[in-house]
Amino acid sequence: MNKPIDITGITLQTERLILRPWKETDLNDFYEYAKVDGVGQMAGWVPHKNIEESKVILSHFISGKHVFALEYNGKAIGSVGVENYNEQHYPDLDYLQGREIGYVLSKDYWGQGLMPEAVKAVIKWLFETVGLDFIVIGHFDWNSQSRRVIEKCGFRYVKTVKYETRYDTVEDSMEYILYHP
């Protein structure tokens, strides 16, 4: 089952990143990467059309209290969300507590190892502090960059499911799981 998550007041630090709750002052940084073609599609959403759209989504991040901003050298460059996993896809896990991780990174920072660094920090927090039993993660079958992040973080493949994107396509999502050690 999905365990409730609240990241209020939580800050995680890695060698190069600070993971923290989003702030209204992050709006320009958020829009800067969210408007770029090719970024959102990796996670199932279309590029933001204008800063007002980013502002609405940012307010959901802030009020939802489950999406970390990735801060690099004082700038928000991406996010890691601790989302509800689809419990219907995993009925055998009903007796355990888990969540799903989703992430996105500014195209300017791809290929530098920042996302595995961020995801590993969130995994550690979710297992050691929150007390989750498992974490689910997925990527579209064509998204080899996300697959590499997932592999570097130790997840194992479970199954492929259909995923309806926010841009009205249905994609094959490769699903992986990591159990608390």
- CA 129 to CA 125: how far, in whole Å? 5
Nearest CA-CA partner of 172 in 146, 147, 145, 138: 138
> What pLDDT shows up at residue 172?
84
pLDDT of residue 171: 79
Quote the crossing angle between the two packed helices 114-125 and 144-152, to the nearest 10°: 50
Phi, psi of 15 (to 5 degrees): -60, -40
Residue written as tokens 């489950």?
Answer: 66
Q: What is the pLDDT of residue 18?
A: 98
User: What is the predicted pLDDT for the residue at 166?
Assistant: 65
Tell me the C-alpha distance between 175 and 135, whole Å. Answer: 11
Q: Which residues pair with 13 in a beta bridge?
A: 18
Measured between alpha carbons, how far is residue 143 from residues 40, 41, 96, 140, 165 in Å?
12, 10, 29, 5, 14
| CA–CA dist 34, 118 (Å, integer) | 18
Q: What is the pLDDT, as a whole number, of residue 26?
A: 98
- Buried/exposed code over 124-153 (b: 16+ C-beta within 10 A; e: otherwise): ebbbeebebebbbbbbbeebeebbebbeeb
Q: Are 78 and 104 in contact (CB under 8 A)?
A: yes
Q: Which residues pair with 159 in a beta bridge?
A: 175
Q: Rounded CA gap, 111 and 103, in Å?
A: 14
**pLDDT of the chain, 181 residues: tens digit per residue:** 999 999 999 999 999 999 999 999 999 999 999 998 877 667 777 788 999 999 999 999 999 999 999 999 999 999 999 999 999 999 999 999 999 999 999 999 999 999 999 999 999 999 999 999 999 999 988 888 889 999 999 999 999 988 776 667 787 889 999 999 8
All structural domains of the chain, each given as residue ranges with its CATH number in brackets, are 12-179 (3.40.630.30)
pLDDT for 86 equals 92
